[in-house]
Amino acid sequence: MLRKEKYPIIEFDDCRDAVINPSHLRKEYDILPYNKLVITFFGEAIKMLLEEKKIEEYITISGENPVVLYKFADADVLITLGMVGCPACAGNLDVATGIGIDTVMFCGGGGVLDKTIEVGQLLVVEGAIRDEGFSYHYIEPSRIIYSQPDIRKSICAYLEENNVPYTQGLTWTTDAICRETRERVAARREEGARIVEMEQAGCLAVAQFRGIKYGGIIYAGDDVSGDDWDQRSWRSRKGIRYSLVEISKELVQII
C-alpha cells in the first residue's frame, strides 16, 4: 500500500509486485547456473583479466545499455562492470536477481572525506547515508541503511587472515557529483561518513528487499575533504585495483 506524504520521495509503497519485475527477464533468459557476482568499477582490471584469459564473456543482457556478465575461468563466479549511480548500478543488480544472482561483492572507488585516509586504503562498507533517491523505492525512509553484520564480519575476517589492511565505516551515497558542497561534505563527515560514492545505498536496499547477500569494499580515491578537489592520481593505481577484484572474487565465494 502506498503511504501518502508531503514529498513523493518518502511515499513508501510496501507492495512487492510491480508492473515490471526482475522475474520478467526469464521470458528471454534461463536461470543462470552461477549465482555469485562481482560488481567492479575498474574497467582496466576487466580488460587485463580478459587479456590474461582469466575471464571470458558469458552472457549479455540486452537493452539500451547492454550489461555484459563475464565468468572467471577458475571459479563459478561472474563479474560485470558497474554503471555509475544507483538507478543504473543497483537497478541492474535488481534485474540480475531475476535470473538467479543471490550473492554479490561490490568493489569500487570513492572520494575520501578525511585526508588521513590514504589512496588505495580499503573501506569495508558498514552502511550508507541515503542522500539519493533510488533506495527509497525499496526500503522505508531512514537516514542510514546498514550492511549485513554477518557478511561484514566474514569480509573482515578474510582480509585479516590474508594481511590486507582495511578500515570499516559509513559511506555517503549521493546522486549529484557536482553538488558535493563544502558545507554538505562537512556535515556528512560529522555524521560519520568516511567516503562519498554513488551506489552503495541503492545496492544495499536492493539486497535487503530481495533477500540476497551483499558486501561492499570501497577503494579510497580522490580527496574532496578540502577547499579544492585533489584527484591524487587515484585511477592510475592499477595494481591495487586489480588486486581488489581478485580479492572480491574470493570473498563472494565465502560470504
1-41 pLDDT, tens digit per residue, is 878 878 898 899 999 999 999 999 888 899 999 999 999 99
| Whether pLDDT at 119 is above 80 | no
What are the residues whose beta carbons fall under 8 Å from the beta carbon of 141, sequence distance 6 or more? 10, 12, 130
Residue 157: predicted pLDDT: 97
With a pLDDT cut of 70, the percent of the chain lying above it is 93
* Partners of 131 in beta bridges: 174
Residue 232: predicted pLDDT: 46
| Whether pLDDT at 221 is above 70 | no
- Considering the chain, what is the average pLDDT of its residues? 91
Mean pLDDT of 240-248: 91
Residue 222: predicted pLDDT: 54
In whole angstroms, give the CA distance from residue 218 to residue 196: 10
| Whether pLDDT at 229 is above 80 | no
In whole angstroms, give the CA distance from residue 59 to residue 165: 34
Mean pLDDT of 59-84: 95
| Structural domains of the chain ordered from first start | 31-251 (3.40.50.1580)
The C-alpha cell 533506495 sits at 135
How many other CB atoms sit within 10 Å of the CB of residue 190? Answer: 9
| Whether pLDDT at 63 is above 90 | no
Residue 234: predicted pLDDT: 43
Residue 52: predicted pLDDT: 97
- Using DSSP's 3-state secondary structure scheme, residue 214 falls into strand
Q: Work out the pLDDT band at 64, boundaries 50, 70, 90.
A: confident
β strands within 51-178, DSSP E: 55-61, 67-72, 78-81, 103-112, 122-131, 144-146, 167-174
Q: Give me the helices (H) in the chain, please.
A: 43-51, 86-97, 149-161, 182-191, 200-210, 238-251
The C-alpha cell 550489461 sits at 67
